[in-house]
């Protein structure tokens, strides 16, 4: 699939078709470009992102969560954290927003065909990997065993409980949930996500491990997977930094010699090992 940038800097108008409240500060916007030609030529890959421009306020990078087969619509799940996302939170169906993209390098879906897949996410819902799960769900027979591991700090932080229940019913799929701090009635594991790793179903010689979440968590997961014999080249991380241009020009997202917007946001561990091991880089 080609990685087609519609326009480098110029946002195009998109209309919001639907707004879904996912949790207290988390919502999904389903949108499409108002120009049918632009929408018709828009293609993306799981793990890529768009820049969403709230007119008069600013723009933010947000991952695309739907499957490339559903490219007639564009879904974004957004957490309200600051100035721009607070403004976007006020939009409703029928409102307009500026959109440019898709940008970046996404997950290695084609190279992972035929392999077991382990997805590890931490924190409050992890939009970048939802696209991977959607992708595998639509092409289930092309992949081996699927493992979805989600860790949260507190049991109350778990969102999308129904989605985990749905994913649990996919063929050849294991879903494991863990909370650092448990409460009565939490039916899943209490402890770090890595304490669930003995339950995973994968062949270390034929697996792709895809991670997103806090970098500290991803470091621990990488160490565990390397100890289990998974090659560095099969560990994939989705990185986040503040962004402006999204095309490798402004330097806001610089990560050593790389730009997260252009060379990432998904990197294989062997490409960023040194930087990734240095905290605070």
Ligand X SMILES: Cc1cc2nc3c(=O)[nH]c(=O)nc-3n(C[C@H](O)[C@H](O)[C@H](O)COP(=O)(O)OP(=O)(O)OC[C@H]3O[C@@H](n4cnc5c(N)ncnc54)[C@H](O)[C@@H]3O)c2cc1C
Q: What is the contact surface with ligand X in residues (CB under 6 A)? A: 49, 60-63, 77-79, 81-85, 127, 240-243, 265
When asked if residue 62 is in the footprint of ligand FES (CB under 6 A), the reply is no
Distance CA 109, CA 53 (A): 28
Within 215-244, which residues bind ligand FES (CB under 6 A)? Answer: 243-244
Residue number, 52 or 246, with CB nearest to ligand FES: 246
Cβ proximity of 122 and 194 under 8 Å: no
Residue closer to ligand X (CB basis): 28 or 206: 28
Q: Among 27, 107, 202, 259, which residue interacts with ligand FES (rule: CB under 6 A)?
A: 259
Q: What are phi and psi of 273, to 5 degrees?
A: -50, -50
Q: How many residues line the site for ligand FES (CB under 6 A)?
A: 12
Cβ at position 81, least distance to ligand FES in Å: 18
Q: Which is nearer to ligand X, 196 or 212 (CB)?
A: 212
Q: Is 261 in the site for ligand FES (CB under 6 A)?
A: yes
The long-range contacts involving 140-143, CB below 8 angstroms and separated by at least 24 positions, are: 140/170, 140/171, 140/172, 142/113, 142/114, 143/112, 143/113, 143/114, 143/115, 143/116, 143/117
| Residue ranges that bind ligand FES, judged by CB under 6 A | 243-246, 248-253, 259, 261
């Amino acid at each position: 699939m080609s990685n087609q940038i519609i326009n480098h800097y110029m946002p195009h108008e998109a209309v919001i078709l639907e707004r879904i409240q996912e949790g207290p500060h988390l919502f999904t916007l389903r949108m499409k470009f108002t120009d049918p030609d632009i929408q018709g030529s828009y293609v993306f890959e799981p793990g890529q992102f768009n820049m969403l421009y709230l007119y008069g306020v600013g723009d933010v990078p947000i991952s695309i969560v739907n499957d490339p087969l559903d490219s007639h619509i564009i879904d974004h799940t957004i957490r309200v954290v600051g100035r721009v996302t607070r403004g976007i939170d006020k939009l409703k169906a029928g409102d307009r927003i500026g959109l440019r993209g898709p940008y970046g390098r996404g997950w290695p879906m084609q190279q992972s065909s035929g392999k077991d897949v382990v997805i590890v996410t931490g924190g409050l819902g992890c939009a970048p990997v939802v696209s991977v799960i959607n992708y595998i769900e639509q092409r289930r027979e092309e992949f081996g065993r699927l493992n979805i591991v989600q860790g949260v700090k507190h049991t109350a932080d778990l969102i999308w409980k129904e989605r985990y229940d749905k994913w649990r019913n996919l063929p050849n799929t294991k879903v494991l949930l863990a909370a650092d701090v448990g409460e009565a009635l939490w039916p899943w594991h209490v402890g770090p996500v890595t304490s669930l790793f003995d339950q995973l179903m994968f062949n270390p010689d034929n697996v792709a491990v895809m991670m997103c979440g806090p970098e500290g968590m991803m470091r621990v997961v990488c160490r565990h997977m390397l100890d289990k014999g998974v090659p560095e080249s099969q560990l994939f991380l989705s990185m986040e930094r503040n962004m402006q241009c999204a095309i490798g020009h402004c330097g806001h997202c610089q990560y050593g010699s790389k730009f997260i917007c252009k060379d990432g946001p998904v990197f294989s561990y062997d490409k960023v090992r040194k930087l990734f091991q240095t905290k605070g880089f």
